[in-house]
């Protein structure tokens, strides 16, 4: 079995386990490449039936418009229901306070909105497109990751996962984060997108954009991020990850299609999350966010 | 490109993380920003050299203490092969993690410190790898630089390990490589410090070893989910979706559903909406059956000619994984693949005494113990001994109170 088939088999087995073991699963969907791959795998898993669970987008309000447009299009194409948890609403209700200063981002505010939305809809399993190769704390993550009533990840009390046996037994009020593409790498995701001819947001390909330099990273100019307008300049860039606009940096690129993107990644000397300001806040930034319920 | 899954085991300070870190670094799997982070951290800790273990030890507590406390998954590729490493810690108290790491692999790399040779931990690693039926072991004798690349010392360690392996009724493929993870000797290229060593380097070995796929087992598919579209077009569609646990299924096969015992024929096989003539072990498939029969999640669809057993009493070896003990007369959920059954532990016959290296009578298992138990099941289970069929012979025990995975079992 080649790598892509092996990974596809593994992911679909996990997706079917989620639906088999839980009452109210949901697919966390950001509109980024990983969640688009996951959505496609979910479709394959249940053919010729439709996907038997809804999608949930935790909307920071700081999105790339291209991502939102494709999100809405895909919801129609895949005939799925979409729920939206709005960070703006959490701010308006005083549940979270907007960060201040030039590094302000809504990335970590998402956690509160996510936990509230899970509680509101009583979701007991949230599938996501996180991968172990992304970040060192994620390398420790289980396929079924149990979160307590507070959404917390306890890295020292993780359930051992043996063979292909997944233990999703939980107490009421707890939920499981399930990661079907845990064992995929960034390159696998791209090769799968090419193999399955999936549509992804245009910002993953090279385009002209106004950017400014912050700590050596090319940040996109937008209303969501404070910068000196005189620093802005136009550059041909693409995005390797698509997160909140305030914490996702662009990389210079000439890649206009999947083949050239794949070649660029193969030759790149910078890791995928090297352009994520949210991971650069401290050495254990991801681990600390996961402990309080981040995805 | 094929996938090779590897687990790594070693005692504390054998340099396992350093070895893996070096493999990642030298195959360009660590990117510049990650290497820069490691370099800066090594420097700030006052080290004379780059500490590659900082790349694999993912948790803050691990980096603080310089130890690995949990299974980490790492990925790297060469042009023809993808590698997934389950890095399991070396501490005695984390033996359960080694069992976990070893449960999904083709190969185990076991590290030894050349200065210390075979340790208690090495014996335990051997016991676990034979229990789990791993077919290929690579012993890397590390820190050769600290014994001046001494051939005699290396040879005597090899002899001792071979003797230990001979105690078991088990014939794994064995490789022995003298390395220095720190200096890079025999890790990704042959060292010129050990002209007496005729074998290959570690990377070349794992790149070239053969991956065997065996589909000779009995045809079994465990039902994971029944697909019922309930749409105009697929009004009467009922597809039994699940993984082929062993063997092969073809259109027209005679099958039996377990536990109901109903028999019918495979009308067609689908995979993600496409028709297929055949599906093999490890593949997901949707079976459509000739007659309308009842099968639900956890049930097994079995080809009628098989060598499997069904029973409500089982004998198994169990590795205990949670902090509260396993006591006789306690109840658990047994999960074999996707199939869950309530089970009572009738009695615990014996456990391995890790110091005396023998089986001793006991009435409880504590965390990291491996013992033999007798189980009473609420319903009959279809199974095969673990030694002949890994996916039908292995199970986990789930604590009904805490829902934790309390142990793993291997049916005898």
Nearest-by-CA chain B residue for A48: B273
Strands (E), A21-123: 25-28, 55-59, 82-86
Question: At B201, phi and psi to the nearest 5?
Answer: -80, 165
Residues in CB range of A252: below 8 A, 6 or more apart: A218, A235, A236, A237
> Among all chains, which residue has been given the structure tokens 């024929």?
B265
Whether A53 and A136 map to the same domain: the answer is yes
pLDDT above 80 (res A108): no
Cross-chain residue pair A162–B396, CB shorter than 8 Å: yes
Please give the sequence-ordered ranges of beta strands (E in DSSP) within chain A, or none if there are none: 25-28, 55-59, 82-86, 125-127, 144-147, 175-178, 207-214, 217-220, 233-239, 250-252
A113 and A202, same domain (yes or no): no
* Set of chain A residues whose Cβ sits within 8 Å of the Cβ of B282: 1, 9
pLDDT digits (tens, 9 = 90+) for A140-180: 788 999 987 777 777 666 889 999 999 999 998 889 999 99
Read off the pLDDT of residues B273-310 as tens digits, 9 standing for 90 and up: 999 999 999 999 999 999 999 899 999 999 998 999 99
* Rg of chain B over all Cα atoms, to the nearest angstrom: 24
Query: Is residue B383 over pLDDT 90?
Result: yes
**In this predicted model, which residue has the larger pLDDT, B224 or A106?**
B224
CA distances from B213 to A6, B15, B130, B248 (A): 13, 32, 19, 12
Q: B336, B372, B333: which is closest to B352 by C-alpha? A: B372
pLDDT at A156: 65
Which residues of A fall within a CB distance of 8 Å from B408? 160, 162
Q: Would you state the pLDDT for residue A155?
A: 66
Q: How far apart are CA A46 and CA A80, in angstroms?
A: 13
Do A74 and A161 fall within a single domain?
yes
The contacts of residue B266 (CB under 8 Å, 6+ apart) are B249, B250, B251, B252, B253, B255, B287, B288, B289, B290
pTM, whole model, 2 decimals? 0.92
Q: What's the rounded Cα separation, in Å, for the pair B336 and B298?
A: 9
pLDDT digits (tens, 9 = 90+) for A13-63: 999 999 999 999 999 999 999 999 999 999 999 999 999 999 999 988 888
Instruction: Say whether pLDDT at B38 is over 90.
Output: no
For chain B, which domains are there?
Answer: 2-208 (3.40.50.300), 220-303 (2.40.30.10), 309-411 (2.40.30.10)
The reply to whether B104 touches chain A by the CB within 8 Å rule is: yes
Partner residues linked to B302 by β-bridges:
B220, B256
Query: Are A127 and A27 within 8 A, CB to CB?
Result: yes
Which residue in A2, A139, A269 is closest to B32 by CB distance? A269
The strand pair at A175-178 and A217-220 is best described as: unpaired
User: For residue B36, what is the enclosing H or E element?
Assistant: helix B32-44
Same structural domain for residues A25 and A139?
A: yes
- Among A4-8, B12-16, B210-214, B384-388, the minimum mean pLDDT is found in B12-16
Question: Are A219 and A150 members of one domain?
Answer: no
Beta carbons within 10 angstroms of residue B252's beta carbon = 12
Tell me the C-alpha distance between B44 and A204, whole Å. 36
Q: Which residues of A touch B8 (CB under 8 A)?
A: none
Kindly list the residues from chain B whose CB atom is less than 8 angstroms away from the CB atom of residue A185: 75, 77
Mutate to test the interface with A, among B396, B407, B411 (most CBs of A within 10 A): B396
Query: Are A100 and A173 in the same domain?
Result: yes
A167:B405 CB<8 A: yes
Which bin fits B160, alpha (ψ -120 to 50), beta or left (φ > 0)?
alpha
Using CA coordinates, name the residue in chain A closest to B104.
A163
The domain total for chain A is 2
Angle B337-B6-B143 from CA coordinates, rounded to 5°: 145
State which residues form the domain around A78. Answer: 3-189+283-291
pLDDT tens-digit readout, A221-271: 888 877 787 889 999 999 988 877 777 889 999 999 999 999 998 887 777
- Whether A262 contacts chain B with CB within 8 A: no
Instruction: Enumerate the β-bridge partners of residue B361.
Output: B350
Contact A283/B337, CB-based, under 8 Å? no
Across the interface, whether the CB atoms of B229 and A48 are under 8 A apart is answered yes
Residue A42: in which H helix or E strand, if any?
A: helix A33-46
> Taking each helix axis from N to C terminus, what angle separates A186-195 and A258-267, rounded to the nearest 10 degrees?
160
pLDDT at position A151 is 72
* Element housing A193 (H / E): helix A186-195
Taking the Cβ of residue B72 and every Cβ of chain A, the question of whether any pair is shorter than 8 Å is answered with: yes
The verdict on a CB contact (< 8 Å) between A163 and B103 is yes
- A206 and A184 together in one domain: no
A 187-246 residues with CB below 8 A of B?
187
* Nearest CB partner across the interface for A163, out of B71, B284, B394: B394
Judged by a CB distance cut-off of 8 A, whether residue B312 touches chain A is: no
Q: Could you tell me if B242 lies within 8 Å of chain A, comparing CB atoms?
A: yes
**Spatial distance between the Cα atoms of B407 and B26, rounded to a whole number of angstroms:** 37
Spatial CA neighbour of B129 closest among B282, B4, B9: B9
Token pair listed for A235: 């550059």
Residues A18, A144 share a domain: yes
Distance from CA of B17 to the nearest CA of A (A): 13
- Do A3 and B1 count as a contact with CB atoms less than 8 A apart? yes
Element at B41 (helix H, strand E): helix B32-44
Whether chain A has a CB inside 8 Å of the CB on B33: the answer is yes
How many beta-carbon pairs under 8 angstroms link A with B? 162
What distance in Å separates residue B117's CA from the closest CA in chain A?
30
Q: Kindly report the CATH number assigned to the domain that includes residue A165.
A: 3.40.50.620
**Chain A nearest C-alpha distance from B297 (Å):** 7
User: Does A208 lie in the same domain as A119?
Assistant: no
A3 contacts B242? CB cut-off 8 A: no
Instruction: Please check whether residues A62 and A122 belong to one and the same domain.
Output: yes
Substitution target in B1, B2, B3 with the highest count of A β-carbons within 10 Å is B3
The verdict on A114 and A217 lying in the same domain is no
Smallest CA–CA distance, residue B124 to chain A, in Å, is 19
**Shortest Cα distance from A195 to chain B (angstroms)?**
14
Once rounded to an integer, what is the mean pLDDT over residues A83-103? 82
Strand-pair category, B284-289 with B339-353: unpaired
Give the gap in angstroms from C-alpha A240 to the nearest C-alpha of chain B: 14
Same domain, A145 and A216: no
**Closest-CA residue to B314 (of B409, B221, B406):** B409
Going by pLDDT thresholds of 50, 70 and 90, the confidence category of residue A274 is: low
**Closest residue by Cα to residue B408 from B180, B110, B103, B136:** B103
């Amino acid at each position: 079995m080649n790598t892509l088939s092996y990974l596809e088999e593994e992911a679909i087995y996990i997706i079917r386990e989620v639906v088999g073991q839980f009452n109210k699963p949901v697919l966390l969907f950001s509109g980024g490449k990983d969640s688009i791959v996951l959505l496609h795998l979910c479709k394959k898993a249940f053919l010729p039936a439709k996907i038997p669970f809804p999608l949930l987008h935790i909307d920071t309000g700081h999105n790339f418009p291209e991502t939102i447009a494709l999100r809405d299009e895909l919801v129609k194409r895949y005939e799925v229901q979409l729920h939206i948890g709005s960070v703006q609403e959490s701010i308006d209700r005083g549940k979270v306070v907007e960060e201040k200063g030039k590094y302000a981002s809504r990335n970590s505010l998402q956690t509160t909105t996510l936990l509230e939305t899970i509680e509101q809809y009583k979701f007991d399993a949230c599938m996501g497109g996180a991968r172990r190769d992304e970040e060192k704390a994620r390398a420790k993550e289980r396929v079924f990751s149990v979160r307590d009533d507070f959404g917390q990840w306890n890295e020292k009390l993780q359930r051992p996962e043996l063979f292909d046996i997944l233990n999703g037994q939980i107490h009421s009020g707890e939920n499981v984060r399930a990661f079907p593409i845990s064992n995929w790498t960034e390159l696998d995701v791209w090769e799968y997108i090419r193999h399955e001819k999936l549509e992804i947001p245009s910002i993953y390909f090279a385009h002209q954009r106004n950017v400014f330099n912050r700590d050596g990273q090319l940040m996109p100019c937008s209303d969501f991020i404070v910068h000196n307008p005189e620093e802005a300049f136009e550059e041909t860039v693409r995005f390797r990850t698509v997160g909140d606009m305030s914490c996702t940096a662009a990389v210079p690129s000439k890649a206009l299609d999947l083949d050239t993107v794949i070649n660029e990644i193969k030759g790149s000397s910078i890791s995928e999350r090297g352009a994520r300001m949210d991971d650069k806040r401290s050495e254990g930034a991801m681990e600390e966010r996961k402990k309080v319920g981040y995805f | 490109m094929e996938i090779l899954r590897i687990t790594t085991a070693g005692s504390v300070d054998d340099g396992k993380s350093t070895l893996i870190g070096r493999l990642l670094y030298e195959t360009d799997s660590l990117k510049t920003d990650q290497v820069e982070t490691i370099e800066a951290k090594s420097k700030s800790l006052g080290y004379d050299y780059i500490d590659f273990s900082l790349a694999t030890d993912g948790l803050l507590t691990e980096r603080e203490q310089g130890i690995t406390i949990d299974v980490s998954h790492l990925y790297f590729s060469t042009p023809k092969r993808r590698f997934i490493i389950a890095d399991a810690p070396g501490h005695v108290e984390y033996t359960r993690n080694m069992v976990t790491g070893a449960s999904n692999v083709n190969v185990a790399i076991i590290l030894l410190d050349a200065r210390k040779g075979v340790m208690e931990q090495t014996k335990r690693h051997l016991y676990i790898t034979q229990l789990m039926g791993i077919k290929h072991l690579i012993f890397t004798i590390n820190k050769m630089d600290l014994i001046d690349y001494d051939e005699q010392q290396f040879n005597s360690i090899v002899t001792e390990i071979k003797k230990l392996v001979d105690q078991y009724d088990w014939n794994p493929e064995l490789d022995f490589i003298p390395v220095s993870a720190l200096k890079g000797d025999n890790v990704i290229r042959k060292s010129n410090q050990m002209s007496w060593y005729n074998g290959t380097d570690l990377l070349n070995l794992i790149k070239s070893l053969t991956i065997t796929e065996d589909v000779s087992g009995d045809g079994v598919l465990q039902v994971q989910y029944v697909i019922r579209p309930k749409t105009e077009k697929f009004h009467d569609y009922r597809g039994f979706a699940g993984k082929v646990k062993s063997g092969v299924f073809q259109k027209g096969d005679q099958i039996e559903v377990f536990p109901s015992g109903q028999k019918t024929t495979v009308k067609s096989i689908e995979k993600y909406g496409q028709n297929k003539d055949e599906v093999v072990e490890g593949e997901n498939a949707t079976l459509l059956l000739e007659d309308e029969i009842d099968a639900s999640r956890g049930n097994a669809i079995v080809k009628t000619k098989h060598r499997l057993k069904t029973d409500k009493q089982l004998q198994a070896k169990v590795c205990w994984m949670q902090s509260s003990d396993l006591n006789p007369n306690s109840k658990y959920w047994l999960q074999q693949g996707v199939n869950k059954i309530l089970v009572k532990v009738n009695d615990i016959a014996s456990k391995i005494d890790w110091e005396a290296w023998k089986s001793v009578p006991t009435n409880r298992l504590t965390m990291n113990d491996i013992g033999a138990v007798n189980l009473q099941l609420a319903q009959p289970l279809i199974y095969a001994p673990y030694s002949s069929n890994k996916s039908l012979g292995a199970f986990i025990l789930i604590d009904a109170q805490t829902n934790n995975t309390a142990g793993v079992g291997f049916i005898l």
